[in-house]
Amino acid sequence: MNQLVPDLSPLIALPSLLSPVAAHIQPELTDLAEVPETHAWPTLHDRPYGVDDRVPVVDLALPDAVRLVGRACEEWGAFLLTGHGVPVELLRRVEEQGRRLFSLSAAHKLRAARCDGTSTGYGSAFISKFFSKQFWSEGFTVVGSPREDARKIWPDGHQDFCGAIEEYSRLMDDLARRLMHSMLLFLGLSEEEISWVGPLKAQHEAVPALQLNYYPRCPEPDRAMGLAEHTDSSLVTIIHQSSGVAGLQLLRDGGGGGAARWVAVAPITGALVVIVGDLFQVMSNGRFRSVVHRAVVDRTRARISVAYFCGPPAELKISPIGKLMGSGRGPAYRGVTWPEYLRLKKKLYNEALASLRLSAGKG
C-alpha cells in the first residue's frame, strides 16, 4: 500500500489490531435465539431518549442550503441530506452488494480478514477493545480500491461489488467537497479564502475510506449494542442507512443543565446522513461540533449502513482557520495531521479531541 495512506482503523471504528485472526471470530449472530453474556450490554439505557426531537432535514438544492447546512452543523453536528444528486438506484446497488457480502459464511468472509498492519477487509470493531462486551455487528473496510480484498472473496465475481463501491466513492467525494464548501461559506469565508483552505485545495490527494457495517436481527435488542457511542475522526462523514430500519442514534446535548438524550435518526428513502467529524471541529475552532453517535439493533430486521469518511491528505496539518478566531480569541486546538490524530484516537478513544485543546482558546 502507498506509504502516504494513513492507518485508518481508528477512524472507521472497526478493525481490531490486537490479533490478525482471532479478533474477527465471533458467533454466527443471526442463528442465536438469545443474546449471550459476551454481547449483553447493561448500559444500553444509561440515558433518556428524546422522543420529541427531530433531526434536521436539509435539501441541498434549496437557495438557502448554506444557511440550513451551517445551522444544522452548529446546533446538531449532524443532519439528514436530500437534494444531493446521488441516484437512489446507486444507493440500492451498494446496499444490495453489502447484503451479498455479509450473507456469506464466516469462513468465506474471513478470506479477506483484516490483518496486522492493514486497514482494509473484513473484521470486527476496533473500538471493541475499549469495552468488555462485544458488538452485534460486523464490518468490511475499503480504503482506496476495493479490488484486492473483493478478489479474495469472489475470485471471478467481484466486478459488480467493485463497480458499485467505486462509483459510490466517487460521488461521495464530490458530495463531501460540496458540503465542506457550504460549511465554510456559512462560517464566513469568501470563495477565494475557501479555495486556499488546505483540505479542499488538496482533496484530490486524500485517500477515500468506506465502511460497510452489518447489524443482524437480534432476539433481544434491548440487551445488545450494534456499535458503541463514538465520534468520527474525519472532517465529514456521509452515511447511507437501510430504508425503513432505524438504528443510528445521536447524543443530543441537554443544554441549560438538562440531561443529554439519544435521538433516533429515522431513515428517509434517498436521504443521506451527514455527521461533523472531529477534524472539522478543530478546523472551525469549535463552531461546529462533532456529534457522539451509536448504532442499536432491531428484533426482526437486519440493517446495513455504508459510511464514507472524508479526511485530509495524510501530510496536511489541520488547525483552526485564522479568520475564525477573531479579535481576542485564540486557537482552541493545536494543529494535527490525520495520521497523528488517528493514533491519538486509537490510544485515547473519545478523549482524543480533548487532548488537542489549548487553554488559551475556547471551543
Q: Provide the annotated active-site residues.
A: 303
Coil vs helix vs strand at 220:
coil
Which H helix or E strand runs over 162? helix 159-186
**Residue 213 grid coordinates:** 457495517
Q: What is the C-alpha to C-alpha distance for residues 276 and 183, in angstroms, rounded to an integer?
A: 10
Contact 268, 80 (CB under 8 A): yes
* Matching residue, cell 428513502: 269
Q: What is the C-alpha to C-alpha distance for residues 326 and 311, in angstroms, rounded to an integer?
A: 26
Q: What is the C-alpha to C-alpha distance for residues 248 and 263, in angstroms, rounded to an integer?
A: 9
3-state secondary structure 306-354: EEEEECCCCCCEECCCHHHCCCCCECCECCEEHHHHHHHHHHHHHHCCH
Q: What is the C-alpha to C-alpha distance for residues 127 and 9, in angstroms, rounded to an integer?
A: 9
Q: Which residues pair with 262 in a beta bridge?
A: 49, 251
Q: What is the C-alpha to C-alpha distance for residues 329 and 105, in angstroms, rounded to an integer?
A: 56
**Residue 32 grid coordinates:** 442465536
**Residue 121 grid coordinates:** 477487509
For residue 98, give the nearest of 61, 141, 132 by alpha carbon: 141
Please, how many CA atoms are within 13 Å of residue 154, restricted to the half-sphere of its CB?
15
- Side by side, the strands of the sheet bearing 261-264 are 227-230, 293-295, 248-252, 261-264
